[in-house]
Chains A and B, each alone.
Chain A
Amino acid sequence: MDVNQAKQEHLLALKVMRLTKPTLFTNMPVTSEDRDLPGDLFSMLMKSDPSTIKGAEMVMLGEMLTLPQNFGNIFLGETFSSYISVHNDSNQVVKDILVKADLQTSSQRLNLSTSNSSVSELKPECCIDDVIHHEVKEIGTHILVCAVSYTTQSGEKLYFRKFFKFQVLKPLDVKTKFYNAETDEVFLEAQIQNITTSPMFMEKVSLEPSLMYSVTELNMVTSEEEGESTFGKMSYLQPMDTRQYLYCLKPKAEFAEKAGVIKGVTVIGKLDIVWKTNLGERGRLQTSQLQRMAPGYGDIRLTLESVPDTVNLEEPFDITCKITNCSERTMDLVLEMCNTRSVHWCGVSGRQLGKLSPSASMSLPLKLLTSAQGLQSVSGLRLTDTFLKRTYEYDDIAQVCVVCPFLSPES
C-alpha cells in the first residue's frame, strides 16, 4: 500500500496510520476449582492481570482499548480517518514545512488537510500532527497523496511525496420490489444485504419520497409508548444476512388526479441508510432515485377508495369505487353489476353513470353482500362506453374476509 517515491535521504519522515475505532481487549480465562491441581492459581493470575474486570474476572470482554493493528477494510459511506505525522528525524532545525494531504479518486482530487498554512520551524525529534477525516463517496481505488515541502538550515528547499493506495468496497446490496395495491397506494419492499465482513447495526433505513408521494414506514411495531422494530432483538445484520423493509407510498392529495393516469416510469423516492459497526463506526448511503413502472390501466381504471377488510356473512356492506378515464376521449358510461356465486350486488344494474371527460374521475358508492365464508373476491362489475359500444370487465377488484357472526343456529 505504501509506495515511497523519493530516493533521496530526507530530514523529515512522513508516517500515516489509519484510525479506525480501537478494539476492546479480550481475555482467555480458564476456570479451575480449589480442589484441582492448580487450585486458585489461575484465578489469582487473572486477578492480578491489569486487563481483567475487577470483581468479574471471568468476563472475557475487557475495558482496555487497543489501537488498530492493520488497515482493515473500508466501505462506501464510511468515514476514512487517518493520522498523518511528519517527524524531524535529523539533528537540525527544519523550516517552512508545508504538509498537504490530498485524496485522489478516479473522478476527483480533494484536499483533506485541516490546515493549509506552513509551519515555520520544526526542531529535531519533534513532529507535526494532523488527523484527517473524509466521508468516502465513491467505490474503487483511492490514493492518499501526502506531500511535504521544507527548507533545510542551509536554505535548500526540499520536497517529497508519498502515495497510499486503498480500495473502497461496496458494503450493501440493495434490491427493491414494488407492489401495486387495489387503491392508489404503492408498497415498496427493500431488501438489504450486508456484504461486509463484520456485523452491522442498521440505525436508520428510511425512504425519502419524491414530490408526488407521502410515505408511511411499516417497520415498527408501536405499543403504548415506545415502538419496537419489527426485527425485535435481532437489531444487527451479520455478514451476508439479508433483511426486508416495507414502505407504503400514497399519492398526495394534490397529485391524486394525476396519479390515476400515470403511464410509464415514475420516480418514487430514494432510500437513506445509516449503519454503525464497532464502537460506533458510522456509514451512510443513499440510493439513487427509485423508479417504478406504472402498470397499464387501459382506457378506464377502476380503483377502490374504500373497502372493508372483514365483513359479516350475508350482511350488506359498502364499497366505494373510483373510475378514472385514462383515455383521450370522453366516455358515456353505463354500469352493470353481475352476481357471482358468492357476491350479490344490491342496487340498480344497468344505470347510466354520465359522461366522463379524459383524465377525469368519479366516485361510485356500491352495496353488496356475500353468501360464502372465507376470503372472497369481489367481481362482476361491467362498464360499457356507449359511444364506442365497448364493454370493460372488472373482476377480482378486491378481496374481503367473510366471517360468520353467529356462534350457533339458535342465536
Chain B
Amino acid sequence: FTDSPVLTGASNPIQSPLVCQPSPSLSKFFADNGSTNPASDFFDSFTTSSFISVSNPNAESPTVAAPPERQLSSSGTTMPNQTHQDVTTPIFFGAPPMEGPTGASQPGLAEATPPFSKLQAVFSGSDDPFATALSMSEVDRRYDAWLPSEETRKVLISVATQQFNPMHVDKECITMPGLKFDNLQGDAVKDLMLRFLGDQAAAKRQVLTASSVEQSFLGLKQLISTKNWRAAVDLTGRLLTAHGQGYGKSGQPTSHTTDSLQLWFVRLALLTKLSLFQNAELEFEPFGNLDQPDLYYEYYPVIYPGRRGSMVPFSMRVLHAEMTQYLGRPQESLDRLHSMRSVCQKILDNLEEGLAEDGSMMNLTQENRQEVSICELWSCVCTLVSSIAQDFVLAVATYQSLVQYEPEQTVQLLSAIGRIFLQIGDIKTAEKHFLDVEKICQTKADGQPLHTAVMMNRAFLYLSQNNYAEAHTCFTNILKCDPKNPVANNNAAVCLLYLGRLKESLRQLESLVQQDPALYLHESVLFNLTTMYELESSRSTQKKQALLEAVACREGDSFNTQCLKLV
C-alpha cells in the first residue's frame, strides 16, 4: 500500500495549525464529576487527533464530521508490515495514488467513519484493546531503548520516585528548542523564472507550498515526496510553533512528545538534504547530545505511564552525528558515531545475556533489533567517512567491515572502495578491488546487473589511465544491455567531450533530457549540459532557459538551481 495522501480541495477550508494533543490520561474522562466528559471523548481524542497516538504510531485518524471543538485530518496511511509482526494491519481508506509532483489537486476522498469502528479496526487482532496496547509496548520498548548517562539516569530516577521538583531542575539539562529562523526563501526555480522568463511564465509554476497542503503529518509527507522540501521545512515550523517551540521560543521551558521530536527530526533532516547545514546546526544546538532527561519517556510519567526509553528517533541521532562532518568537523562526527556505537553494543550485550536493553531482567523472545540498528549505524559511518572526511584508510576499512553486515551489497561496496582508491590516485589497489568484484560476478549466475557493475568499474579504470576511448566503449557496452541506464548514458557523453567530440556529446545529453526528463533532469546531468553549452557558444543563455522551463514543470522547490548556471 503506498502512501495515498489527500489534498483538501476548495470545499474544505485549510485548518489552522493544530495544537499537539498527547494522549490524555484516563482520569480525565472517568472522573466522578458526572457525565460531562463521556468515555467516547477519550476514544475520540485517541483516534481523531491529527498527531500520532501513543499506542499506535501509525494509526491515522479518519475524517469524521467534526464536532466543533475538534480538528480533524483525513485518512490514508501507510503501514509498514515488515517490522511490526505483532500489530495487525489497520483498515484504511485510500485515495487514488498521487499523480505527479505538482499534479492535479484531488478532492478529498476519504469516507467518513464513526470513530469506534476505526478503533476496532486498529485493534482487531484481539478483543481487548488494552492487552493489545500492552503487547505493542514491547515493540515500543525495543525501538525506544537507549542507555542514559549517569546524570540523566539520576534525574529520571528522581522523577520515578517522585522526588523530582521541576522548579529545581537545572536549566542546563533540559531541552528548550525553538525555530531559529522564520521562513525559508521560497522557490528558487520560480525566482529564476521571474528573472529570465517573465512574470507570465513564472505565474504558471505550480508547486506545493506549506499552505496548499493539510497542516498535518500527512501534508508534510506530501511535501516531502513531491520534493518541495523548503515548503516542508516551513510546515514543520508551523506545526512546531503550534507545539510551543516556534520562532523565539528557544530557551523557554517546554515539553516534548514523540510527535514533536519526529517533527524536529524531519525539519533537521530536510535542512540537511537542502545543504543548509548552518541552519540545522543552530536548531540542533538546544538538544545537546540528545541525552537530556526530558527527552526520555520516564520524564513524563503522567503522559506516558509505564513507558521507558528515549523519545529521540535513532535516525535523529545519526543525523546529529553526521551534521558536524558537513560543517567541516569530520572528527567530531566520528566521535559521536563511536559513542553511539558503544551504546548500541552495550544494549546488544545486555540482550545477548538475556537481559532487557537497559540491563534489567526480562523475558525476551524476538530477534535483536539492535543488531539492525548497528548495521544502520555502520552504513552511516561509511557514508560519513568517505571523501568528505578525507580519511581514506578509515573509509576503506569501514566499507570492508560493512561487507560482513550487508553481504548482498558486496559488489557495490567493493566497487565503491575501488572508486575511493581511484580518487586518491592509487590505481593499482583500485584495480585489485575491481578484480575481486569480477571474481564475485563470475561465480554468480545473475546476468545484467553484475555485468553492468564490472563494465562500470572497467570504464573508471580506463578513465584513470587516460584511455577515454576505451572508457566510452565500456559505457556503451552497458547501454547495449541496459539502454536506459542514466549513469552509463551520462558518463558516455562525458567521455565524448574528452575525446574532442563536443557536438556529439551535447546532442546525446540533450536528447536524453528531452526524451526522459524524469531521469535526466538531475543536478549532475544538468551541470554537465550547461557546462558544455557554455563551451559551445556565447549564446548559451537561451538553451539554459529552455532547461529552466523543463525544470519548472517537474521539479519541486528543493531543486538545486545552481546547475542551470543562469546566475
Contact = CB atoms under 8 A, between A and B. Distances in A.
A50 B221 CA distance: 21
Contacts of A249: none
Given A39-B3, A87-B536, A67 B531 contact: yes
A66 B424 contact: no
Contacts of A238: 390
A65 interface: yes
Interface centre among A63, A69, A126, A127 (most CB of B within 10 A): A63
Interface in B520-534: 520, 522-525, 527-528, 531-532, 534
B519 A50 contact: yes
Contact of A277 (B390, B413, B425): B425
Interface string B375-407: 010011011001110101100000000000010
B161 to A, nearest CB: 30
Contacts of B265: 32, 36-37
Interface stretch (A98-106, A135-143, A278-286): A278-286
Given A15-B536, A67-B497, A67-B528, A50 B520 contact: yes
B423 A235 contact: no
B534 A235 contact: no
Nearest to A14: B538
A58 B449 CA distance: 18
Given A32-B315, A64-B491, A15 B425 contact: no
A25 B494 CA distance: 13
A63 B419 contact: yes
Interface residues of A, number: 71
Contacts of A51: 486-487, 522-524
Nearest to B428: A203
A47 interface: no
Interface stretch (A16-24, A173-181, A183-191): A16-24
A68 B393 CA distance: 26
Contacts of B406: 56
B527 A65 contact: no
Interface centre among A21, A60, A89, A275 (most CB of B within 10 A): A60
Contacts of B380: 31, 58
B502 A85 contact: yes
Given A37-B263, A89-B537, A234-B393, A53 B315 contact: no
A130 B500 CA distance: 6
A341 interface: no
Interface string A29-41: 1111111111111
21 contacts: A13-B537, A28-B275, A30-B272, A34-B82, A34-B83, A37-B217, A37-B220, A38-B269, A42-B269, A61-B419, A63-B487, A65-B463, A66-B528, A68-B531, A69-B527, A83-B497, A199-B390, A203-B425, A277-B425, A280-B463, A280-B464
Interface of B: 3, 52, 57-58, 78, 80, 82-83, 143, 217, 220-221, 224-225, 227, 262-263, 265-266, 269, 272-273, 275, 313-315, 318-319, 326, 376, 379-380, 382-383, 386-388, 390, 392-393, 406, 408-409, 412-413, 416, 419-420, 422-427, 429, 449, 456, 460, 463-466, 486-487, 490-491, 494, 497-503, 519-520, 522-525, 527-528, 531-532, 534-539
